[in-house]
Amino acid sequence: MRTTLKQYFGYDEFRPLQEEIIANVLAKKDALVIMPTGGGKSLCYQLPAIQLSGLTLVVSPLIALMKDQVDSLKANGVPAEFINSSLSAEENFQIQEKARNGMLKILYIAPERLAVESFRQFLKEVNVQLIAIDEAHCISEWGHDFRPEYRNLKKLRQDFPEIPLIALTATATIKVRKDIVEQLSLQEAKIFLRSFNRENLTYFVQPKQGVDYQLKALLAKHKDQSVIIYCSSRKTTEELALQLRREKFSALAYHAGLEQEKRKETQEKFIRDEVSIIVATIAFGMGIDKPDVRLVVHYDLPKTLEGYYQETGRAGRDGLMSECVLFYSYGDKMKQDYFIRQISKEDERLMAEQKLDQVIEFCELEHCRRGYLLKYFGEKWETVNCGNCDTCMTPREEFDATEISGKILSAIIRTGERFGINHVADVLLGKNTKKIKDIGHDSLPVFGIEKYFKKEDIRHFILALMSRDLLRKNDGEYPTLRVSDKGREFLKYRQKIALSKPKNVQEKSVVKREDDLAFDGELFRKLRAFRKELADQKNVPPFVVFSDVSLREMSHYFPQSLESFQGITGVGAMKLAQYGEQFLEIIVSYAREFQKKELIIPLRQSSNKVRTEKSSKSESSSATFQKTKELLLQKLSISSIAAKRGLSPGTILTHLEKLIEEGGKIDIAHLSPSEERLKKISLAFKESGGSMLSPVRKILGEEFSYEELRLARMFI
C-alpha cells in the first residue's frame, strides 16, 4: 500500500489513522471515520479502491465535489468517473458501460440516484467491492446539515449486504455518530475518531466594530490568496461583494438564489484561481475540494458550532497555516433570536436556541477557543494554552471590576429585572431613547452613572457576569436579565471581583509553526503561474496539477534532477512523467540565475527504491558528477550513461550542465544534434527571446524532446 501511495498520490507516508482504516477496509469490515477536513478521508477509500479487483462506489452530496475528486484521480492515473444530473443520458450510459466492462476503479454518484430503480439494477450488474459514504452526517436529523435524500442509502445495505461500507464525515457529535451507524445498518463497525484539532488553523473572534476596515486589512494581508467570507443573508453577500470589487478586490457573491449556471460559473472561477474571494451564504463550500483557502471569515454570526467548525474547516486543507476570523456583535445575536422565535415547533426552537447559546459562549470565551471546540465534539483537551487562537496568543488583562459590576447589577434591579442587555446598557449610559423616556427610566438614580465605558464594553461585562453566575437569563420569549442569589450576595456584602478588560480591535498575525518551510517567494510565484497555465490547458483546477505544498517544497529545496524532484510531496509516477521536466526547467533556470543550491530533501518513510538507494549511498555531488564525467569521456550517449548509472537521462543532463558551468573542459561533440536540427533549435531560441525550453518546444512541436533541447542549448 505504501508503494501504491507514492506511485499514485506522491506521498511517502500515511497521515494519522489512514493506515489502520485502510487495513480495516481491505479486511472487508464496516467502518465509521470521523476525521477533520483536510485530514485525508478520501484516501481511506481511494487507495484500497486501486487494489481491489472490482468497483468502489462513492456517494457524495455535491456535483462540484465529485468533479474535483474525479479530476484529481485521473491526473494521478486512477480510472474514475461520476454520474449525476450534470451529464446527459448518453454520457451516463457510456460511463455505466465502462463500469460494466471493469474499466473503472471508482464511481461517484449522488444519493438521489439510489431512488431510481433502474440505477439500482445497474449497480447489481457491476462488481461492487466497496461502498463509501462521504459527508455521512447528512443522514442524521441530529446533524447540522440533514439531507432527506441520504435516507435512500439504506437501500445500499439491502442490495449489498456482504460488501464493506465505510462512512466518512468531518463533524459528528456522539449523538450523530450513533445515528449514522443505525441509519446505515453498519455491522460491527469500528469507529475511527481522529482528533478534531486542526493545528494549522488560527481562530480569531473580533468585535464587529469598524468591520469594513478590519476586513480590508485582512484581505490586503491575504492578497492573491483564496478567501471565503460567510454572510447570513443573500442580500449581504451581494452588497459586500460589490463593495469589495469597488475597492479593487477580486470578489464574487454566491448564494442559493442565483441561477444554477451562475453558481456553477462562480464556483469554477474560484476553484481555478480566476477570482480570489467568494462572499457566500452557507450554501457555498460543502462541495469545494480546494485545498489552498488561506482565510475564512464569518462576517455574521454562525447559527451552530457544527456549522462554524465545518465552514472554518475549508481553510488550510493542504495543512498550511491559515486563518479563521469571526466578527461578533450582540446585535447579530438579537437578529438570530428573532428568526428563532418564528420557529413553530417547540422542540426545534429550543434546539436552535441551545445551539445559538453555544456559539455566543464560544464568542465570549476568555480561555482557549480550540479547547472549547474540541470539548464540544467530545474530545479531551488538557492543554491550557494552544498558542494559536486569539485568547491564547494575547490573554486578556484583568482589572478590578467591582465598581462597574455593582453598577450593572443595580441597574438590572432598578429596572425591575424585565429588560435585556441593550436596555440596561442604555440606561447606564444615559441614552435619551423614546423607550427609556416612556417607561420613566431616565429618572432612575442609575440613569447615566457610567461615564467611562462604551456600550460594547458594558455588554462584555454583562456576559462575563453571566458566566460567573451573578446574572441569569429569565425564562420566556425574550432574553431579559435577572440578578441571581450569588449576585445579590455580591451586592449585599460588597465583594470584590476581577474581570478581563474588553478586547480592543487589533490585527493579529498567524503564528508561524516550526515545520513551515522558508520558501523562495519569487520562484513560488513563477511555479504558480506555470501551474495555472498547465491547468487551463487541461481544463482542471490548478491544485489538480500540484498543490501549494508541492510548490513550496520545490521553492525551498530547488531540486535539480528527476530523482530529487520525485522526493517532493505530491509527486507520484504519473505527475513525474507528465510534469517533471517542465517544472525542473523553471527551477533549474531560476536556481542558476540567482545562484541557489539544491538542498537535500529529508528522507521520509518510503518504499521508493530510487530514493532509498540514493540516500543509502550518501553520495556527494562532486563524486556523482565525477562518475558521469568518466562515462562521458568514454564517448557514451546520454541514454547509455543513464542506464549504467541507474539514473534518468534528465539527471545526467543536469550533471553535464553543472560540469560545464564549473569550467570543466569536456569533449561532448559526440552528443550534438545534427547540424540541421541544431540550426532549427537555434532559430527557435532566437524567436523565443530567451533561454527557457517550454517556449522553444511550443515553436518546434513535440518532434523535439526536452532532452534534445537541453543538449542543443549547451552547444548554442
Lowest mean pLDDT among 238-242, 340-344, 396-400, 691-695: 691-695
Residue 270 burial (CB < 10 Å; 0-12/13-18/19+)? buried
Model confidence pLDDT, tens digit, residues 540-552: 889 999 999 999 9
Whole-number Å distance between alpha carbons of 644 and 621: 18
pLDDT digits (tens, 9 = 90+) for 444-461: 999 999 999 998 889 889
Q: Which domains does the chain have, with CATH numbers?
A: 2-193 (3.40.50.300), 201-389 (3.40.50.300), 398-500 (1.10.10.10), 518-599 (1.10.150.80)
Helix (H, G, I), strand (E, B) or coil at 485: helix
Task: Please give, one letter per residue, the 3-state secondary structure of 367-417.
Answer: CCHHHHHHHHCCCCCCCCCCCCEHHHHCCCCEEECHHHHHHHHHHHHHCCC
Could you give the percent of the chain with pLDDT greater than 70? 91
User: Rounded to an integer, what is the distance from CA 626 to the centroid of its chain?
Assistant: 46
pLDDT of residue 509: 46
Grid cell digits, residue 50: 486501486
What radius of gyration, in Å, describes the C-alpha atoms of the chain? Answer: 31
Amino acid found at 592 = R
Judged on CB neighbours under 10 Å (0-12, 13-18, 19+), 520 is buried
Span 633-661, mean pLDDT?
A: 79
The secondary element (H helix, E strand) that includes residue 648 is none
Strands 106-109 and 80-83: parallel
Strand 251-254 relative to strand 481-483: parallel, antiparallel, unpaired? unpaired
Q: Is the pLDDT of residue 219 over 90?
A: yes
633 φ/ψ angles, rounded to the nearest 5 degrees: -65, -20
Write down the pLDDT at residue 393.
86
* Residue 614 pLDDT: 37
What span, in angstroms and rounded, lies between the C-alpha atoms of 184 and 150?
A: 10
pLDDT band at 287 (very low <50, low <70, confident <90, very high): low
Question: Residue 571 carries which DSSP code?
Answer: -
Nearest in space to 129 (alpha carbons), one of 18, 47, 49, 44:
49
Q: Where residue 280 falls among pLDDT bands split at 50, 70, 90? A: very high
**Average pLDDT of 150-175?**
85
Degrees to nearest 5, angle at CA 173 with 172 and 179? 75
The one-letter amino acid code at 279 reads V
Q: Which amino acid is at 703?
A: E
Phi-psi category of residue 226: left, alpha or beta, with phi > 0 → left and psi -120 to 50 → alpha: beta
Task: Check: CB of residue 303 under 8 Å from CB of residue 253.
Answer: no
Q: How many residues does the chain have?
A: 716
DSSP 8-class letter at 549 = H
State which amino acid sits at residue 114.
Answer: L
Is residue 431 helix, strand or coil?
coil
Most confident of 360-369, 499-508, 510-519: 360-369
Q: Over range 497-513, report the average pLDDT.
A: 62
Amino acid present at 538:
K
pLDDT for res 505: 41
Determine the pLDDT at residue 608: 41
- For 54-105, the pLDDT digits (tens) are 999 999 877 777 888 898 899 888 999 999 888 888 998 999 999 998 899 9
DSSP reduced 3-state for 572: coil
Cβ proximity of 331 and 301 under 8 Å: no
For residues 27-56, average pLDDT: 90
